Amino acid sequence: MIEFYRTRARDSAHALLGREAAEVVDLDAAIELARSLARTLNMPQRPDALTITGADGVVLHACAFDTVQGQQDEPS
């Protein structure tokens, strides 16, 4: 599961903007898919963070977008 969030710095609140379920071969493929989806999904706002969780609900990867340089940057 890939989830995209918008975060608020002053109190660490976050809002879920989008969620996509996908089957991929490994974590690298999931990260690549998340990068692509961050650019192409129709979401109400641009996300500034994401998480990737496995089928068992364990978080495998989480990252934030670089807010200093803008949304052209991809999540790491």
- Residue 9 makes CB contacts below 8 A (sequence gap 6+) with none
- 1 touches 53 (CB < 8 A): yes
Q: Give pLDDT tens digits for 66-75.
A: 644 344 444 4
CA distance 59 to 69: 26
Domain ranges of the chain: 2-64
The angle at the Cα of 71, spanning 20 to 30, to the nearest 5 degrees, equals: 30
Q: How confident is the model at residue 65 (pLDDT cuts 50, 70, 90)?
A: confident
Strand order in the sheet with 13-20: 13-20, 2-8, 49-53, 59-64
Q: Is residue 9's pLDDT more than 90?
A: no
